[in-house]
Structure 1
Amino acid sequence: MDRDDEIFADAIELPTAARAALLDQACASDPAQRARIEALLAGHNAAGAFLEKPAGAPLPLPDEEKPGDVIGRYLLLQKIGEGGCGAVYLAEQKMPVHRRVALKVIKLGMDTRTVIARFEAERQALALMDHPDIARVFDAGATGAGRPFFVMELVDGLPITKFCDEHRLTIPARLELFARVCLALQHAHQKGIIHRDVKPSNILVALRDGEPAPKVIDFGIAKATQDRLTEQTLVTGVDQFIGTPAYMSPEQADRRDGDIDTRSDIYALGIVLYELLCGRLPFDPKTLSRAGVDELRRIIREVESPRPSAVVGVALPTLSDHGLRGSTRMDDVKEAGNPWISVRSVVDRSSVWLRFHRRGKRTPTATPPNISVAAARGVTPKQLSSALRGDLDWIVMRCLEKDRDRRYGSARELADDVLRHLRQEPVEARPPNAGYRLERFVARNRLACASAAAIALALIVGTVVSVRQAVRATRAERIANAERDLAQAASRAEAVARTDAQRRQEQAEDLLTFMLGDFRTELQKIGRLALLDSVGEKAMAYFAALKPEELTDTALARQAKALTQIGQIRLDQNRYADAHAAFTAGYTRAAALASRHPRDGDMLFERAQAEYWIGFVARRRGDAVAEREWLTRYRDSAFALLHTEGETPRAQSELAWGYHNIAVLDVDAENFVTARAGFAAEGRMVKELLIAAPGDVQLQMRLAEIASWLGEISRRDGDFVAAMDCYAEAASLFERIASLEPAVPHWRYRVAKSLIFAGEVKRSLGLRIAADNSYARAIGLMNELVAFDPANKWWRTEALHARIVGGRPGSEEYGAALSEALTELEMMVKSEPSSRALKRLLAETLRMQSADRLAAGRVDQAEGDIERAIEVGEALVREGQADANVCAEAAQAHLLAGRIAMEQRRVARAQEHWREVLALLRTRLATTKDCRLLDPGAQAYVLLGMLDRANPLVERLRQCGYHSSDPLAAPILDVASWSTNETQNQ
């Protein structure tokens, strides 16, 4: 009970003459409050004398709000519409911000207990929502007459069906828009809210940044699935419908209204999807409105809807075709669908939608008469029917199941099935069928399947011919044994057969080598390696059936190269286990060749390639022991190659790579002196090679790689200025390479990564503007790459990470990037659980989201995020060989967890987290200059009151010129810095 209710309850207990004194005391500082309570008392008195008044004399109603009135902080400018039980006004807010808003208030004569309860339900339902595609509420209260109101943003938009028709959106575009609506409803369902009136006029769409953006509105008849939305829970009357009949689920039409759950909204979504696809409803709403109550319920519960593909181009059937009886019009069932107008705020640019009734003449919402249903979707009638037949029929009809247990279990499941259809993947609504799944697979991979078919045909032809010739050879041998005079002829026949079989096998492998070699190179340039997935699978199955010891040298060499190429394709897709299998099979063949021909440089070279790639996969998976073993083998093979064929460009290049890989391992082990020496040796060899081949792009790329790694060493060694110079050099070199090969997107990716590294260093030096410039350029490049190849999950994740590390915490864009990045990372970690790099990136993103939510005051959500971040980080630490990156991330997570515990006044728990920071870093803090380790260590010491331990760490940070970008860290480090200065002054 609020303060108004308390004063009102006290006043009605007093005699009328004594009430003024109570109001003088209780409302002395709030005249508006006194006016509200006096209105309530007047209503109470009028109600008490109700039976004393003549039967025909209505009670006087308070004046309707009008332009110029003030309600709370809002000045009414004009009445702009009415919807349901509420009237809507254009209003102006002066404090605390100046903006125009929409204010919705109970209409005169509608403030009954039932309507007020429903209005309050709408306000509470909207207040629970926090989704970009669901309308939000700014404010709420009561008018001077005691009628509730709430305030929303002013926006513009059209009902989703009208928007799609006016803009002539294609079927895929409509489905993408519909999927967003499903996800918005999923958010409401997760908040415990059922909309119960999902229809096109409650889904408004407008162009936002040139793209259609939906907004779900009007939760006025929403029902809580867990908690009551108001103290006056609305109970539906016996014959009262809550919702629009044309979009109403069977259980919603049933009298047992309390049994409704979120699957009722799934049914309504199915009707909306039906209308988006077909341009019509399953049943005519006008006919429904003329049906009696019982007949209407029977239709909704029992009459099956026709499939969408069956009604396109066919006259809409009337309900009389389904046994409709009676024509009594039901007064409380209104015609479905109303035209709406909407207003855009000239002050506030946020994207929340509000609907209003249009006054005056009704404007049709259908497409113009000269545009057919099919034309509004950019197809012919025949194409429209074909597009709906199959998956879309199954999806819609699953939504419209009369038995709700057979519908989709959630709005997210519906959205996922729609998106699967758009991706040409099998949909869950359709019964499983091998032929259907094969059809979907071929639709997604046309080029790859065609290539695989060509290879399979070549292999089959070669095998059939080989078997046939082998049979002939065996027969020839038997004839030779029986008839010695034909021995010479049989021997020749056998030799011919074997030669022919070998020739056909080589032809098949030549085709495979082309597909995985030259063709793969061209696909890699345009970022389309996934097209070779099917080819790789077929080739792996083919190679597995062969024994390396029975193959010729030529076959072994070809297969070793092909297997290495298959492994690289799988590595690009983050399929580490599959990549390792391919590289290992390639190594087996290359090693067999090298043992047969120990002085053949080509054989040594192929073995070295397989060794390198096995080591690289181990690095991606975080297996440091295997990584060092295989990369050391690779370096030794490079030395052997140089000894075998002399100082050829190939041998020198491989040895330079050998130096490079070992130097990287030394960086991981923080042996910076040895690492610098290794990179210097590599650099000298690469520059010598460039003298002979100045236009070699790969050699130029290696100089850029060296500069980038020297920047990493300088950063971790505390020399930020040198690091900034190195990263700038790397970015410049990669930009030059990108200009030489503009068709290769990988070079733009490397430019972006160099800019991100440079931005991190600039931020550590306190150069905020310069850092922002670097991040902005990097984000622009990453966005271009994602637009070029949306299927590349790694680029997409890196682009999101760039938006996060270069973003402004607290902004709406920053929060959206965090949420999107977490979704992508969790999917990638699930698909490749052995990747330590992906897990560390997931832990970092969870920590950033926790910090953002803590800054916004959402402490409980921040706690949940940081607990997950700690869980992922500790798992990485437990796996062993935790490098500086892993330790720094785990320490930052525990540091933030301690801050959250302090916000919750759990001091002991906070101190446990800070001691855990020191436990993670203690062995490194004595000598390291890596600010990522020094920063959390110094903060933990200060927060635990151990300033004498913090002082040396803070001094090292100051010598590096370090400035923390964390606003919470600066005052903590300042305490230690002040303590250090006091000690020096004494």
Structure 2
Amino acid sequence: MNETTRRHIDKSRWPRLSPLLDELLDLPPEQRPARLLALEAQDAELAADLHELLWRQQAMNAANYLATPALQTMAQADKPNNLAGQQLGAYTLEREIGQGGMGTVWLARRTDGRFDGLVAIKFLNAGLLGQGNAGRFAREGQILAKLAHPHIARLLDAGISDSGAQQPYLVLEYVDGLPLDQYCNSKALTARERVALFQDVLAAVAHAHTRLILHRDLKPSNILVTSTGEVKLLDFGIAKLLHEEGNGSSDAAASTELTQQAGRAYTARYAAPEQVQGGEVSTATDVYALGVLLYLLLCGQHPTTPGEDEARTTPLERMRGLVEVAPKKLSEQVAEKPRARELRGDLDTIVAKALKKLPAKRYANAAELAEDLRRWLNHEPITARPDSTAYILRKFVRRHRVAVAAGSLGLLTLSASVGMALVKGQEAQAQRVQAEGLIEFMLGDLRKKLEPVGRLDVLDAVGEKALGYYAAQQTGRLDAGALGQRARALHLMGQIAQQRGKLDEASRMYDAAAGSTAELLQRAPKDGQRIYDHAQSVFWVGEAAWRQGQVVEAGKQFKRYLELAEQLWPLAAGKPDWLAERANARVNLGILQFDSGEVQAALLNFQKALPEYEELAPAQPDMRVEQINTLGWISRVLQYQGRYPLALAADQDRLAVLARIPNREQDHLLLNLEANAHHDSSRSQFFMGNTAAALQAAEKAVAQFENLTSTDQSNLDWLEKLSSLRLGLAEIRLARGEQDLTPLLSSLKSDIGRLLAADVKQMRWQGNLRGRLLWLRAKVERSEAQSQALAVEMTGYLSDMQARIQAGTRFNNELRLILAQLELTLGELLTNSDAAKAGMHWKAVAERLRANVTSSDAPAMTVAALAHLHLNAIEEARALAEKLEASSYRHPDYIQLRTQLQAATLSATHHSTGKP
């Protein structure tokens, strides 16, 4: 019986999920919600996964698998070969499907009428259990039944027969599939496809490793793959069932017979050296078996007894080969040159590390092996080899062949030159000028060339060298120029970390940079350059705080930024960069004010900044970008105020400015801005009810950004923007009645899932994107099972957001609206099953949007009015609808509101008059 997966669980999260799931399942059901709320405050996506797994557990319990003891009567329990047709509790045994050293496996069907499905029942050799262990065996079975992972065949029950033979048995999920190696060969999978499939095996093993459960017998026959390509790992936990410390006998210090039997429960072909030598086993023991499996899958040979030699060798020779002989490199076992080239290098290194003779030299567990294979699949540097600069740059070139082709030689030369110069700079004062000159080139001219084409991360390794150079010197003794360079290097490293979603690391870099620039300013408080440099640092500190939802701290930093810019203004004659700082500071403060609900103050700051950018642009073309950005923010404020025609005009101004910039097709930053302009234009059209024009602009925005993100898939800021654009496109298509949104929804789930896994502190990811995706799924995934699962996820999301509010995070208008939309939809999902809870959610919507409905926020008024209608507060809904009638807001939600209001009014009239 195969379970239907309702929410995709990212396998990389299983090491964190497993112990938390165990903890939740061990709690009484009434205590789980409180624990979940605490977990949701720490990691929203993790909590959503736990909600899903608890839902699956409840579904399994509803099937009542364990309601009846699996073996009530079994006259022939000691003769499992004669059991066809026997009743085993709720099951009828049908036929034997496997035999091994540990016992016999039977196919059985549940026949008690409560649930129709197949299971596999394994009868273990009675000798595996010592006297007095029946109760412990049953208890362990109950614990291991909670080992929930989509790639582990579920252990449904375990126990001992009531017959005199004390026959141990397991009731297992039945899997109809091929062994892993046979499946790969039958499908003629490539090396990359085999590694990708093997990741599912590793995810299952890693899950159990987090519970300190070893498999000890990993081999192809214990790993089945279904016809749909779903991996299922069998017999996980049996070694745990068959293992216990001294049972309290007189020889308590010695292993019991049970432990000894379990320790020898392995297949020699896949055993690790410590197993055959009777040594201590650990998670690294399973890693060795995984290494053997991967070796076989990729080259078709065994690592220690390859080819025909395996059949000719004696057991002693095979043991000696296992313990003493280092395997050949994986790539050397393959005759075909193209295949050998694919395996050579990192795959050779990864597999060799998994097959190390000493456990301490292997990967510590399956999760570490999986991470290096993931890196190999993504052409990223692996951990099993030194991270030399040349190696990292080779990996960059591999990931970005087209973008790097023309300039790779120059970049490699630059990296080598910087490295040599920095080393020499530390060795001799005479080389310092050369070293710092190269750093200045990296931070200045080279950065300006790389940033527009989205290749800033090429400077990562070189930036680390620059920081290493300055770290080798005493910061207090650095002159002003060197301190400034150090700050710029820290800014660069912070930006790279931020693009990769590592906000904590970025914050540390920005704080350190601010320390350098503050020291410079203290040395010369009236020096314009020092004021300018410190202003940059203060901005980046505020930017990082804002991204983490720390609005108060961000506001403090942005106000300080504006103060510094005002100090700089009288000193800025002849310095275009300095002249722009006041406008920059106003725009950034305006963005924060807009997010905080100070809409008019934000618009005033944007309108003050715009003419300053326009004045600077003729002499400083870079200011065109800031002019375009500022027009974009003006557009968003006007949208929020319901002034959609004016917002659309601002978007057209942006596109007109962009059209006048030469060669914009080669500048990724300008392509980003153009996509944003089309997106904002699409939103204004959508709000005015022009869905055809909205769809055209949205498709243009998404297409442009898809091309952009394909050039640098490591840039999570770009991935965030693409996800936002796709969500907008999906909303328009949904409103137009398009039926098949599956491909778009699949892309959104994958991309947003990647963002959520990358950083739990990014509120734009954890709050906005996650909430919008849940709302979209609720509109598309309409089956009863999907709705139930979504209700659990949405409840978890709302609990998480509430925990963040209680922790002091302030939400902007956009996020408050997303929460309200989600709560409105959740109430609709719960209408039939829990009317009281549905009503609570609708009341929460009205309360959440109370401040917004007093302004001109049309989307908020519409959602609030729909909530009032659900609560049968028709007059409140009508009052809001009349305000909307006077605006230009004609979004599909407004049309829905008018339709439902008319129906509710008609129903109320008929009810009062007694008419049918």
1:827 correspondence with 2:743:
no
Structure 1 Cα separation of the partners of residues 207 and 729 of structure 2: 28
Alignment equivalent of 1:175, drawn from 195, 201, 221: 195
Alignment equivalent of 2:878, drawn from 951, 954, 959: 951
Range moving further from structure 2, 785-794 or 624-633: 624-633
Cα deviation code 1:20-63 (max 9, x no counterpart)? xxxxxxxxxxxxxxxxxxxxxxxxxxxxxxxxxxxxxxxxxxxx
CA contact (8 A) 1:133 1:216 kept: yes
Q: Indicate the SS of the match to 1:379.
A: helix
Q: Which residue of 1 aligns with 2:635?
A: 711
1:572 correspondence with 2:514:
no
Alignment equivalent of 1:794, drawn from 717, 723, 731: 717
* 1:862 Cα offset (Å): 0.9
Query: Relative to 1, partners in 2 of residues 1:180 and 1:764: Cα closer, same or farther, differing over 3 Å?
Result: farther
The correspondence of residues 5-20 of structure 1 with structure 2, limited to 5 A, is: none
Matched pairs, number: 703
Q: Which residue of 2 aligns with 1:350?
A: none
Give the residue type in structure 2 aligned to 1:763. Answer: F
The correspondence of residues 382-401 of structure 1 with structure 2, limited to 5 A, is: 389-395=348-354
Structure 1 Cα separation of the partners of residues 421 and 553 of structure 2: 38
Alignment equivalent of 1:444, drawn from 392, 395, 402: 392
Q: Which residue of 1 aligns with 2:554?
A: 627
CA contact (8 A) 1:840 1:872 kept: no
Structure 2 Cα separation of the partners of residues 386 and 602 of structure 1: 49
Q: Which residue of 1 aligns with 2:297?
A: 276
Q: Indicate the SS of the match to 2:666.
A: coil
Cα deviation code 1:681-705 (max 9, x no counterpart)? 3222222233445xx1x22212221
Structure 2 Cα separation of the partners of residues 592 and 197 of structure 1: 62
The correspondence of residues 417-432 of structure 1 with structure 2, limited to 5 A, is: 417-422=372-377, 423=379, 425-426=381-382
Alignment TM-score, normalising by the size of structure 1: 0.58
Give the residue type in structure 1 aligned to 2:349. Answer: G
Structure 2 Cα separation of the partners of residues 265 and 731 of structure 1: 58
1:748 correspondence with 2:671:
yes
Structure 2 Cα separation of the partners of residues 554 and 197 of structure 1: 62
Q: Which residue of 1 aligns with 2:790?
A: 862
Give the residue type in structure 2 aligned to 1:161. Answer: N
Alignment equivalent of 2:801, drawn from 865, 873, 882: 873
CA contact (8 A) 2:862 2:897 kept: no
Unaligned runs of 5+ in 1: 1-83, 87-112, 126-130, 135-151, 153-157, 206-213, 226-244, 251-261, 315-371, 428-435, 466-500
Q: Which residue of 2 aligns with 1:160?
A: 184
Give the residue type in structure 2 aligned to 1:621. Answer: Q
Q: Which residue of 1 aligns with 2:533?
A: 606
Cα deviation code 1:409-436 (max 9, x no counterpart)? 77x7764442244455556xxxxxxxx5
Cα deviation code 1:431-483 (max 9, x no counterpart)? xxxxx553578633569998777556545544554xxxxxxxxxxxxxxxxxx
Structure 1 Cα separation of the partners of residues 724 and 335 of structure 2: 42
Query: Relative to 1, partners in 2 of residues 1:665 and 1:306: Cα closer, same or farther, differing over 3 Å?
Result: same
Give the residue type in structure 1 aligned to 2:195. Answer: L
The correspondence of residues 461-610 of structure 1 with structure 2, limited to 5 A, is: 461-465=424-428, 505-540=432-467, 543=470, 550-594=477-521, 597=524, 600-610=527-537
Q: Which residue of 1 aligns with 2:581?
A: 654
Structure 1 Cα separation of the partners of residues 269 and 898 of structure 2: 61
Unaligned runs of 5+ in 2: 1-94, 98-104, 121-148, 153-175, 177-181, 239-266, 273-282, 397-410
Cα deviation code 1:294-322 (max 9, x no counterpart)? x99x99999959999538699xxxxxxxx
CA contact (8 A) 2:709 2:718 kept: yes
Query: Relative to 1, partners in 2 of residues 1:755 and 1:309: Cα closer, same or farther, differing over 3 Å?
Result: farther
Q: Which residue of 1 aligns with 2:851?
A: 923
1:851 correspondence with 2:778:
yes
Query: Relative to 1, partners in 2 of residues 1:849 and 1:306: Cα closer, same or farther, differing over 3 Å?
Result: farther
Alignment TM-score, normalising by the size of structure 2: 0.62
Structure 1 Cα separation of the partners of residues 119 and 649 of structure 2: 56
Cα deviation code 1:902-934 (max 9, x no counterpart)? 2423x2222222222223222332x22223322
* 1:115 Cα offset (Å): 7.2
Give the residue type in structure 2 aligned to 1:717. Answer: Q
Q: Indicate the SS of the match to 2:454.
A: coil
Alignment equivalent of 1:663, drawn from 559, 567, 590: 590
CA contact (8 A) 1:810 1:852 kept: no
Structure 2 Cα separation of the partners of residues 540 and 715 of structure 1: 44
Cα deviation code 1:468-505 (max 9, x no counterpart)? xxxxxxxxxxxxxxxxxxxxxxxxxxxxxxxxx5x754
* 1:792 Cα offset (Å): 1.9
CA contact (8 A) 1:854 1:900 kept: no
Cα deviation code 1:221-276 (max 9, x no counterpart)? 99999xxxxxxxxxxxxxxxxxxx999999xxxxxxxxxxx999999976663343
Q: Which residue of 2 aligns with 1:974?
A: 899
Structure 2 Cα separation of the partners of residues 180 and 378 of structure 1: 23
Q: Which residue of 2 aligns with 1:618?
A: 545
Structure 2 Cα separation of the partners of residues 795 and 909 of structure 1: 38
CA contact (8 A) 2:291 2:351 kept: no
CA contact (8 A) 1:560 1:587 kept: yes
Structure 2 Cα separation of the partners of residues 942 and 574 of structure 1: 41
Give the residue type in structure 2 aligned to 1:438. Answer: P
CA contact (8 A) 1:608 1:637 kept: yes
Query: Relative to 1, partners in 2 of residues 1:797 and 1:414: Cα closer, same or farther, differing over 3 Å?
Result: farther
Q: Which residue of 2 aligns with 1:767?
A: 690
Cα deviation code 1:393-416 (max 9, x no counterpart)? 344789x99xxxx99977x77644
CA contact (8 A) 2:548 2:763 kept: yes
Cα deviation code 1:126-169 (max 9, x no counterpart)? xxxxx9999xxxxxxxxxxxxxxxxx9xxxxx95336558xxx5
Q: Indicate the SS of the match to 1:820.
A: helix
Structure 2 Cα separation of the partners of residues 409 and 177 of structure 1: 18
Structure 1 Cα separation of the partners of residues 862 and 327 of structure 2: 64
Cα deviation code 1:787-823 (max 9, x no counterpart)? 2112223323433443344235874324423431343
Structure 2 Cα separation of the partners of residues 538 and 461 of structure 1: 12
CA contact (8 A) 1:846 1:866 kept: no
Structure 1 Cα separation of the partners of residues 608 and 885 of structure 2: 33
Query: Relative to 1, partners in 2 of residues 1:658 and 1:299: Cα closer, same or farther, differing over 3 Å?
Result: same
CA contact (8 A) 1:649 1:689 kept: yes
CA contact (8 A) 1:199 1:269 kept: no
1:883 correspondence with 2:812:
yes
Structure 2 Cα separation of the partners of residues 971 and 456 of structure 1: 64
CA contact (8 A) 1:424 1:443 kept: no
Q: Indicate the SS of the match to 1:215.
A: coil
CA contact (8 A) 1:839 1:872 kept: no
The correspondence of residues 188-203 of structure 1 with structure 2, limited to 5 A, is: none
Structure 1 Cα separation of the partners of residues 673 and 441 of structure 2: 28
Q: Which residue of 1 aligns with 2:66?
A: none
Cα deviation code 1:740-782 (max 9, x no counterpart)? 2433323222323333333333333333333333332233223
Structure 2 Cα separation of the partners of residues 733 and 124 of structure 1: 67
Q: Indicate the SS of the match to 2:710.
A: helix
CA contact (8 A) 1:615 1:630 kept: yes
Query: Relative to 1, partners in 2 of residues 1:457 and 1:976: Cα closer, same or farther, differing over 3 Å?
Result: same
Structure 2 Cα separation of the partners of residues 800 and 781 of structure 1: 13
CA contact (8 A) 1:273 1:396 kept: no
Structure 2 Cα separation of the partners of residues 507 and 311 of structure 1: 43
